[in-house]
Copies of this chain bind each other. A is one copy, B any other.
Amino acid sequence: MRKLIFLGVGGGAPSRWGLPGILLIKDGFSALFDCGEGTQLKILEKGLGINVDVVAITHMHGDHVLGLPGMIQTMGLLGRQKELIILGPKELKDFLEESFSRTKFEPNFPIKFVDSYEGPDFRIVPFETCHTVESRGYVYEERERRNLDVEKLRAEGIWDYRVFRALKEGKTVQYGGRTLIPEDYLIITKGKKIVYTGDTRPCNNIIEASKNADVLIHDSTFDNNEEAHLYGHSNASDAAEVASKAGVGTLVLFHYSARYTTTEPLLDEALKRFPRAVTVEPLDTVFIR
């Protein structure tokens, strides 16, 4: 089970939507994607700890990054010792270091800046997106799981655990005069794939990176504004087209402009082109089984 907690779902000027911040939680691991002002306050409001393992920032615009210095300072105040892993644009490190120095803060725990992150059974990798400044989206991708079909083996009268182990390791086994091929006895479960675009115009890179994703969280700043692309943003209609071309499971529209007071116009626009589109409210949780 994975949870996506949408701390803030708007973009640009603050509004009732809050500013970008998405928490991904799986098996005690947590990653925060973007960290607009107020993100740590929303984590607090949701009753969660701010002890995230990984922070992944898409680009240096203030609405996506200005909550990070404060959140890291709070981690320090609360006595964090565990290393914090940060993914983001090259300038992020300088921004944080300058901010810490000006505000007289010295982190009492290690901070490591990396380009991509390899977890025990998943990875988080960036891909280039199409905004007005250097920007990247992130793919969270789990490795496929291979479980032995023990019931099938037992039904065929095979109970030897050495055979089980060899098959699980992908080895062909000679047993009782038969040749057992691993593929015949493995249940392969595809890992989940979640993609977050950050701010972007619709572009081919997004479609490529999102191929067959279970969930695509896509910039949907406007419903159908012809100037969206000029500002490096997408309309709900664009997000839906990308989702359709990439064949994703669910499209989550994200980064709503302050001009909207409900997400209805955005959702209506997306549903015309892609049936599995949803919108989210601040503090909503999306469960992915």
Chain B residues with CB under 8 A of A44:
14-15
Contact, CB under 8 Å: B41 / A104: no
A271 at the B interface (CB under 8 A): no
A95 at the B interface (CB under 8 A): yes
A153 at the B interface (CB under 8 A): no
Question: What's the Cα separation between A38 and B44 when bound, in Å?
Answer: 13
Shortest A165–chain B CB gap in Å is 50
Q: How many copies of this chain?
A: 2
Question: What's the Cα separation between A74 and B10 when bound, in Å?
Answer: 13
Question: What's the Cα separation between A18 and B65 when bound, in Å?
Answer: 20
Looking at the complex, which one of B12, B70, B78, B91 makes contact with A66 (CB distance below 8 Å)?
B70
A103 at the B interface (CB under 8 A): yes
Chain B residues with CB under 8 A of A95:
98-99, 102-103
A105 at the B interface (CB under 8 A): yes
Question: What's the Cα separation between A24 and B28 when bound, in Å?
Answer: 44
Chain B residues with CB under 8 A of A67:
37
With A12-B77, A14-B44 already in contact, the answer to whether A70 and B102 are too (CB < 8 A) is: no
Chain A, residues 79-117, CB within 8 Å of chain B (1/0): the string is 000000000000100110011001111000000000000
Looking at the complex, which one of B38, B66, B104, B105 makes contact with A69 (CB distance below 8 Å)?
B66
A61 at the B interface (CB under 8 A): yes
Question: What's the Cα separation between A63 and B74 when bound, in Å?
Answer: 9
A62 at the B interface (CB under 8 A): yes
Looking at the complex, which one of B13, B62, B78, B133 makes contact with A78 (CB distance below 8 Å)?
B13
Contact, CB under 8 Å: A105 / B62: yes
Q: Which residue of B lies closest to A59 (CB)?
A: B104
Chain B residues with CB under 8 A of A63:
70, 73
A228 at the B interface (CB under 8 A): no
What are 17 A-B contacts with C-beta separation under 8 Å? A13-B74, A13-B78, A37-B40, A37-B67, A37-B70, A38-B41, A61-B103, A62-B69, A62-B105, A63-B73, A66-B70, A66-B103, A94-B102, A95-B102, A95-B103, A98-B102, A104-B133
